[in-house]
Amino acid sequence: MSLFFRFNRTKTAVAVIAATLILAGCNGGGSSNNDSSDNTGGSDNTGGDSTQSGARYITLDAATDVTQAAYLDLATGVQTTSGQDWHVAYQKYVGFKVNGGASGAGNANGAITACYTGNSAALYDAEGNPVQSAFEAASADSTLEAFNAVTGVESCVDGGMKSDSIAPQIKDWLSADYSQGAPVYSADSSKWWVLRSAKADPSTQTFDYSRFHITDLTVELGETTTRQMTLGVQTWNPLTQSFNDEVASPVLDYSNGRVYYDMESNSVVSAEDDWELSVVVQDRNYLIQVNGGASGTASAGVGVLQVDSALDVTDPANTDQVYKYFADQSEGAFSAPGDYGAFDYNVDGQGHQMWPNYGIYLVQDGAQLFKMQVLSNYGEDGNLTSGNLYIRYAPVTQ
């Protein structure tokens, strides 16, 4: 069962050659996927320098609270919060994001951009599948030379520095017919989604659920633009252990900007209220977003089904029917190179571990440039729970 979207891997001939040369020095004795030791000068989880390479190390705790992202300020080497300065964040079951574009407003110097350097290309075959022996040979030690060699944005591949965009969980619902010239938009009312509430009940720590589809869509473009939709919603009744009869939502009018919908009250609300869904048009992209992950600060999510259809779900809290609820993801530099950005899942086919691919990323904050590399998903020694990211990073002098 995949835990994230499957991202496309982009490799260039230069990156493949460079990565092949780098990994050729592994001596066949690299560490396992859990081993993130670096014998070039030890580590300092408060942001200290390695004695030889100038690299710094930190463990980013995204395991203690999986409902929220863990934020990293590369300037100070400190784990922060969404309300403080941050450059890169990671949330378990959601993925990475940078503080710019669709994922954040940036710091004092403006939006943060990032790129992937292409250094891990030799860990994958021509079809983009992970090569187990290459992953087993790679380690923090064997990739330190590649980390030190990154000295500027000329190392970027796949279009250079970029901001994040949104990869929503609610997708493939809109179609456009251009046969008459101007597009005629329609929604697929046969598609249903199971939705989890943005917040749990504080006394029981249980969530509310509903399932919904789009019943009406109006898009009229011209001097006055009209964009509206109506949802058909069936809320979960924990007393009867069944979904209630379908009711119509209010008209969600996003003609002049984003509109927010609260599932529990079946009403249009503001951004400051409790909400589950928001609807907006960004750069011609019609987005239905959930209040969680890359799109919000709460815990709303869309169910990944173990059954054929949302209409087949008879208990939204049963993991045999709904495997897990996922929030929206960011899509950007940290979407490459692996299935899950800096990680690949179950490389050896025998476990459920996340293997680091030792991808090196550049992160731009105004005039300051940083580089970073995820070395482990299980802490420095590989003995912590999943979601404890051991990270190597350093400022880059330009």
Q: 124 and 178: one domain? A: no
Q: 73 and 142: one domain? A: yes
For the chain, give the mean pLDDT: 87
Q: What's the pTM?
A: 0.71
Q: Of 135, 105, 139, 162, give the one whose Cα is nearest residue 336.
A: 162
Q: Which helix (H) or strand (E) holds 21?
A: helix 13-23
Q: 225 and 242: one domain? A: yes
388-396 and 56-61 beta bridge pairing: antiparallel
Q: For residue range 216-246, list pLDDT tens digits in order.
A: 999 998 889 999 999 999 999 999 999 999 9
Q: 135 and 180: one domain? A: no
Q: 19 and 130: one domain? A: yes
- Counting the structural domains of the chain, the total is 2
> 114: which 2 tokens?
């990032």
Based on its alpha-carbon atoms, the radius of gyration of the chain, rounded to whole angstroms, reads 22
Q: For residue range 368-393, list pLDDT tens digits in order.
A: 999 999 999 999 999 999 999 999 99
Q: 293 and 337: one domain? A: no
> 71: which 2 tokens?
């934020």
241 falls within a domain: yes
Domain that residue 216 falls in: 169-327
Q: 251 and 154: one domain? A: no
Share of the chain above pLDDT 90, in %: 75
Among the residue ranges 39-43, 90-94, 218-222, 230-234, the one predicted with the least confidence is 39-43
Phi, psi of 196 (to 5 degrees): -100, 145
Q: 179 and 287: one domain? A: yes
> 342: which 2 tokens?
């800096």
Q: 147 and 274: one domain? A: no
129 falls within a domain: yes
8 falls within a domain: no
3 falls within a domain: no
The residues with which 128 forms a beta bridge, in sequence order, are none
